[in-house]
């Protein structure tokens, strides 16, 4: 049983990393490619064909799908805090890429988020068994 | 106007994400990540009413959020919507029947305070 919980934990970490990074870079590329204003409804369609915007949209689709996959085995009360590490990465990226100042207040917030993530990630990702019997999928690849 | 938008965002996000989690859990753990198997999983999920309802809720929330960003700044919008973490954790316990231990409550509380501090 402990190999099963180790397997689930590793899979959860890999999937959570994809969730966080696809959201971070998806939003970043979207912002980079978006023009200041969108005149008329047609502009909402044509903007999708800009290279940075389409790359951002693809990454956000990856984000939604990987998050759904993660929720297929992990608890919502686990996924929510653990994926909030993205807020920390946004603040750090602002400092590294855009030379923004990180105030003491922001550092405090970053430390609180990291502490919360550390606490929650110590608990098992899944506290309630799958409603479907496991034997069915046991032989399938991952 | 902005408080109405926040109420819409919080309600739609909370209901949408809880429905999505419920639907995904009832589908069962995704174990096969090969393209063919993923395509089959996605087509099964489009017939799962909780997943479809969840996505609808998140879409409403997304457009209301865009609207909110047009009338307020990010440093108000982010902490005001962080309250969904608490609501969703409560619903995870009572609706999804997850075991929300004291460790998880403490973690969720720290994250909400942290998000507020980072974005204010």
Q: Specify the pLDDT at position A4.
A: 84
Q: Work out the pLDDT band at A48, boundaries 50, 70, 90.
A: confident
Rg of the Cα atoms in chain B? 16
Which structural domain, as residue segments, surrounds residue B96? 2-119
- Read off the pLDDT of each residue in A74-101 and give the average, rounded to a whole number: 85
Residues 6 or more apart in contact with residue A116 via CB below 8 angstroms: A81, A84, B106, B107, B108, B109, B110, B111, B114
| Mean pLDDT of the residues in chain B | 90
Q: Specify the pLDDT at position A135.
A: 43
- Read off the pLDDT of each residue in A93-104 and give the average, rounded to a whole number: 81
Residues of B in contact with A112 (CB under 8 A): 110-111, 113-114, 117
CB contact under 8 A, A75 and B85: no
Q: Work out the pLDDT band at A137, boundaries 50, 70, 90.
A: very low
Q: Where are the alpha helices (DSSP H) in chain A?
A: 2-33, 41-46, 51-71, 76-83, 85-98, 104-121
A141 assigned to some structural domain:
no
Q: Specify the pLDDT at position A1.
A: 56
Token couple for A80: 């929510």
Q: Specify the pLDDT at position A128.
A: 66
Measured distance CA(A95)–CA(A97) in Å, rounded = 6
Which structural domain, as residue segments, surrounds residue A30? 2-129
CB contact under 8 A, A137 and B29: yes
Q: Specify the pLDDT at position A134.
A: 46
Q: Specify the pLDDT at position A84.
A: 87
Question: Count of residues for chain B?
Answer: 120
Which residue does chain A place closest to B20, by CA atoms? A68
pLDDT digits (tens, 9 = 90+) for A105-131: 988 998 999 999 989 888 888 876 655
Measured distance CA(A72)–CA(B20) in Å, rounded = 9
- Read off the pLDDT of each residue in A94-113 and give the average, rounded to a whole number: 85
Contact assessment for residue A113 and residue B110, using Cβ atoms and an 8 Å cutoff: yes
A140 assigned to some structural domain:
no
pLDDT digits (tens, 9 = 90+) for B4-48: 999 999 999 999 999 999 999 999 899 888 889 989 999 999 999
Domain count, chain B: 1
Terminus-to-terminus CA distance in chain A, angstroms?
Answer: 18
Measured distance CA(A79)–CA(B69) in Å, rounded = 25
Q: Specify the pLDDT at position A139.
A: 41
A136 assigned to some structural domain:
no
Lowest mean pLDDT among A133-137, B31-35, B68-72, B84-88: A133-137
The alpha-carbon gap from A128 to the nearest alpha carbon of chain B, in Å, equals 6
Give me the interface pTM, i.e. the ipTM.
Answer: 0.88
Q: Specify the pLDDT at position B110.
A: 93
Token couple for A11: 């899979």
Measured distance CA(A69)–CA(A15) in Å, rounded = 8
Q: How many H-runs (helices) and E-runs (strands) does chain B carry?
A: 6, 0
Residues 6 or more apart in contact with residue A28 via CB below 8 angstroms: A56, A93
Contact assessment for residue B111 and residue B85, using Cβ atoms and an 8 Å cutoff: yes
Q: Specify the pLDDT at position B2.
A: 84
A135 assigned to some structural domain:
no
Residues of B in contact with A132 (CB under 8 A): 28
Q: Specify the pLDDT at position A27.
A: 84
Q: Specify the pLDDT at position B68.
A: 87
Residue A105: name the closest of B120, B106, B79, B77 by CA: B120
Token couple for B37: 């198997």
Domain count, chain A: 1
Lowest mean pLDDT among A8-17, A48-57, B77-86, B87-96: B77-86
Residues 6 or more apart in contact with residue B25 via CB below 8 angstroms: A71, A72, A73, A128, A130, A131, B96
A28 assigned to some structural domain:
yes
């Amino acid at each position: 049983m402990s190999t099963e919980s180790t397997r689930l934990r590793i899979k959860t970490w890999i999937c959570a990393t994809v969730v966080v990074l696809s959201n971070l870079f998806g939003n970043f590329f979207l912002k980079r490619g978006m023009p200041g204003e969108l005149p008329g409804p047609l502009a909402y369609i044509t903007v999708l064909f800009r290279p940075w915007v389409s790359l951002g949209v693809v990454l956000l689709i990856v984000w939604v799908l990987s998050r759904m996959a993660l929720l297929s085995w992990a608890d919502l009360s686990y996924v929510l805090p653990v994926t909030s590490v993205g807020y920390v990465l946004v603040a750090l990226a602002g400092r590294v890429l855009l030379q923004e100042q990180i105030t003491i207040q922001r550092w405090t917030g970053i430390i609180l988020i990291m502490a919360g993530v550390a606490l929650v990630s110590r608990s098992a990702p899944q506290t309630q068994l799958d409603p479907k019997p496991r034997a069915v999928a046991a032989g399938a690849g991952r | 106007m902005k408080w109405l938008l926040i109420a819409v965002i919080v309600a739609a996000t909370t209901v949408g994400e809880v429905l999505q989690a419920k639907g995904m859990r009832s589908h069962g753990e995704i174990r096969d990540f090969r393209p063919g198997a993923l395509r089959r999983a996605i087509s099964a999920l489009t017939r799962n009413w909780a997943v479809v309802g969840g996505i609808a809720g998140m879409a409403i929330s997304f457009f209301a959020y865009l609207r909110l960003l047009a009338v307020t700044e990010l440093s108000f919008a982010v902490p005001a919507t962080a309250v969904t973490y608490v609501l969703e954790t409560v619903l995870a316990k009572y609706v999804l029947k997850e075991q929300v231990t004291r460790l998880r409550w403490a973690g969720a509380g720290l994250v909400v305070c942290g998000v507020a501090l980072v974005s204010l």
